[in-house]
Amino acid sequence: MRHWILPEHVEDLLPVEAAKVEHLRRRLLDLFALHGYELVSPPLLEHIESLLTGTGHDLDLRTFKLVDQLSGRMLGVRADITPQVARIDAHLLNRQGVTRLCYAGSVLHAQPSDLGRTREPIQIGAELYGHAGVEGDIEVQSLMVRGLESAGIGALHIDLGHVTIFRALVAAAKLDAQRESDLFQALQSKDIPHLRELLAGVSSEFAQAFLLLPKLYGDAGVLSTARRQLPALAPIESALTQLEQSCAALTSSVSDVRVDLAELRGYRYHSGIVFAAYTTGYPNALALGGRYDQVGVAFGRARAATGFSMDLREVASVSQIRLSRRVVLAPYRPGDVALMQAICARRDAGDVVIEELPGQAPYRHELGHEHEFVQRDGRWTVEAIKS
């Protein structure tokens, strides 16, 4: 076995990509800070119960587990930072009002979320706690859009859904847990024939409502159709109103906002509006988010919560930002005070200055520089290299 080969779906970040990822990380965290989101940094390892609370079976399968040699308890390597931030809000900060937190760090997946995706995303996101109204959802959705735009992502498309609509239909139709799970799977795959089979014996009003959900996809006009054709249940009315408000807020900054009432991503985790951001020419969602009010229960406080996250690796791969700094080569002259002052001045101005160590002249082409220090009339100046 070659010792330099990495595990499947685990990759190095080489200099150009690493520089771009770090640039975007700093830019996004600075943006979040300007909106009042405070940075937290949870640990890579936690007790497995803490990591998996409220996140459902999917995250359990994606979490690496190991036994703590000190306590004998089962630990997990985080596969998602969101539950950790919820723990910090509920148990450590213990604030009564609205709390805004942000984070950035690597997570590890036992299995890739999709073919061709890394098992070590660099997750960055923002979470808002303590406000149950749709205003909190709109704030984090707007911040997500600003963040992606700041990261050089153009032609954004936002998809909105609401898990409450499906839940309200299940409750009103008095379906058992197995039927609910089967309907959920059929809706996710939009398998209409199988959906019809599963709805055998369900009252016609609710059966027609379930069959309508996969067709309720499109612009904000879909919500008017839903209001006319879905059962007049209070939770559904409330959910449609929240989606209308989100659509109205988002369309002021994003030209393409879509509603999908069969979108139940994170169904066992989310409790309200869910949303995703896409860009033209890239198949995967660049950012995902939604409301998850019940996660804090296991930490002693059921706090209203909404937020979003994105993988910096993916964002960097699509970003139109091009990093460009002038790279200047300087001769190695440790005793030359004037040269050192000139080098410091250029670095203070933002240039990259590389001092050429002895014996390295044959490898200059590897440095990527286009300028160099030249001494003229006793003064050191920077000049472009003549081709």
pLDDT at residue 382 greater than cutoff 70 = yes
User: What pLDDT, in 10s, does the model give residues 329-342?
Assistant: 999 999 999 999 99
Q: Please indicate, yes or no, if residue 187 is contained in any of the structural domains.
A: no
Q: Please indicate, yes or no, if residue 210 is contained in any of the structural domains.
A: no
Burial of 61 (0-12, 13-18, 19+ CB in 10 A): exposed
pLDDT at site 55: 58
332 and 350, same structural domain?
yes
Domain final residue, candidates 318, 343, 369:
318
Residue with tokens 């990495």: 6
Domain final residue, candidates 290, 318, 346:
318
63 and 26, same structural domain?
yes
54 and 146, same structural domain?
yes
pLDDT confidence bin for 70, thresholds 50/70/90: very high
pTM of the complete model: 0.91
**Tally of domains in the chain:** 2
Residue with tokens 């009564």: 96
303 and 345, same structural domain?
no
379 and 285, same structural domain?
no
133 and 43, same structural domain?
yes
376 and 314, same structural domain?
no
pLDDT at site 218: 94
User: What pLDDT, in 10s, does the model give residues 158-195?
Assistant: 999 999 999 999 999 999 999 998 998 899 888 899 99
pLDDT at site 50: 82
The structure tokens listed for 126 are 């923002």
User: What pLDDT, in 10s, does the model give residues 8-49?
Assistant: 888 988 999 999 999 999 999 999 999 999 999 999 999 988
pLDDT at residue 65 greater than cutoff 90 = yes
378 and 287, same structural domain?
no
Q: For the residues 211-235, what does the mean pLDDT come to?
A: 94
Q: Please indicate, yes or no, if residue 45 is contained in any of the structural domains.
A: yes
Q: Please indicate, yes or no, if residue 227 is contained in any of the structural domains.
A: no
pLDDT at site 56: 57
pLDDT at site 316: 96
Edge-to-edge strands of the sheet including 64-67?
Answer: 45-47, 74-77, 64-67
59 and 86, same structural domain?
yes
pLDDT at site 263: 86
The structure tokens listed for 119 are 């098992």
**Rounded Cα gap, residues 310 and 21, in angstroms:** 12
pLDDT at site 293: 86
Q: Which one, of 339, 315, 357, lies nearest residue 24 by Cα?
A: 315
Q: Please indicate, yes or no, if residue 266 is contained in any of the structural domains.
A: no
Q: For the residues 93-112, what does the mean pLDDT come to?
A: 93
pLDDT confidence bin for 311, thresholds 50/70/90: very high
Range of the domain at 347: 327-384
34 and 73, same structural domain?
yes
Q: Please indicate, yes or no, if residue 222 is contained in any of the structural domains.
A: no
Q: Please indicate, yes or no, if residue 213 is contained in any of the structural domains.
A: no
Q: What is the CATH number of the domain that holds 132?
A: 3.30.930.10
Edge-to-edge strands of the sheet including 99-106?
Answer: 38-39, 99-106, 122-129, 305-311, 282-291, 273-279, 156-162, 256-260, 217-218
286 and 380, same structural domain?
no
pLDDT at residue 294 greater than cutoff 90 = no
pLDDT at residue 116 greater than cutoff 80 = no
Q: Please indicate, yes or no, if residue 40 is contained in any of the structural domains.
A: yes
